[in-house]
Amino acid sequence: MQLSQNCISTLRQWLAGEWHTQHPTDMKMFFKFVNAYILDHRYSVDEKGLRNLMADQLRIDHHSEQTYLISERISLMYQIMDFVRATGR
């Protein structure tokens, strides 16, 4: 999966915090990552590649319970992307 330096940077910033919570600060970092991802890839998501990249960045087993949380965030990412696409933002 190819991501720009900006996208990788925002991903790392988000994952460096309590990424799995829904704390406003962490959600703000997540939204910044989604924005950077959209700038790189528009509305196309390589779900498996992104899930593996996130697991690698977090240094977790690809079959651990935390991968469920990763999948939840990717699902939210899809919803945000649908909103952005539908509203033309």
Please answer whether residues 7 and 36 qualify as being in contact, where contact means their C-beta atoms are separated by less than 8 angstroms. Answer: yes
pLDDT, residue 6, reads: 96
Threshold 0.75, pTM exceeds: yes
* Residue 76 half-sphere exposure toward CB, CA atoms < 13 A: 14
pLDDT for 31-75, tens place per residue?
999 999 999 999 999 999 999 999 999 999 888 888 999 999 999
Tell me how far the alpha carbon of residue 50 is from its chain's centroid. 7
Retrieve residue 59's tokens. Answer: 């240094």
The packing angle between helices 47-58 and 66-87, to 10°, is 130
